[in-house]
Amino acid sequence: MPAPLGPHFINVDLEVWSRSDLSALGKAVAPLALVLYVGKSRRKHLVALEAKETRLSSPEATVWALLRVVRSLPPVARKAWRSAESRVFNVGYQAGEFVTPLHERPPGSGRWYAKDPRKAAKASVTTLGPKLIQAVARAGGTITTTIYPATRQEPARRTKRRSSAATGGPANPPLQRTELALRR
């Protein structure tokens, strides 16, 4: 399957922030979810996790999977969940890999079209239904969206070695003898 050209859904991270220790919550979710981080961050305690199910293709399915993890918490972890300051379901999107150049046709008309519509990036449309939003609210959570900007990787340029003529030294400096070699 080719990589998506336009904006697309990546994953949902669940971030739980608290002033008190969340290690019990981190231990409880470890068998059920992929734990990204448990510890202190910015003077608060944080547990960050993702759904273990890797075939989830939509934000809604992923949030439901994370809610199943929350519903299955043992009492000690449930107490840590309830006492947390925030429980954020962060839906992540990649903005896309390239920009589609547009051309005005006819010139001066104000109508812009992709030169080749088959190669144009497509919009990403996702929906979070009312039942899901109610379930997140009942769990005490919020939903946020992060859109990661398009990036481009460029290989590092190799720096040319300066020639000896540029540095003023000989091309191959003579090897210096060590004291040990001189004693022989």
Extract the tokens encoding 65.
Answer: 């999977």
Residue 38 in domain: yes
pTM tops 0.95, yes or no: no
Q: Is the pLDDT of residue 142 over 60?
A: yes
Extract the tokens encoding 173.
Answer: 């400096």
Which residues constitute the domain of residue 106? Answer: 8-150
Burial category of 97 from C-beta neighbours within 10 Å (exposed 0-12, middle 13-18, buried 19 and up): middle
Residue 140 in domain: yes
Residue 49 in domain: yes
Residue 158 in domain: no
Task: Give helix 130-138 / helix 59-71 axis angle, nearest 10°.
Answer: 30
DSSP 43: T
Residue 118 in domain: yes
Residue 183 in domain: no
Residue 99 in domain: yes
Model confidence pLDDT, tens digit, residues 44-102:
999 999 998 867 789 999 999 999 999 999 999 999 999 999 999 999 998 877 777 78
Task: Give me the number of domains the chain comprises.
Answer: 1
Rounded to whole angstroms, how far apart are CA atoms 116 and 98?
14
Q: What is the pLDDT of residue 183?
A: 47
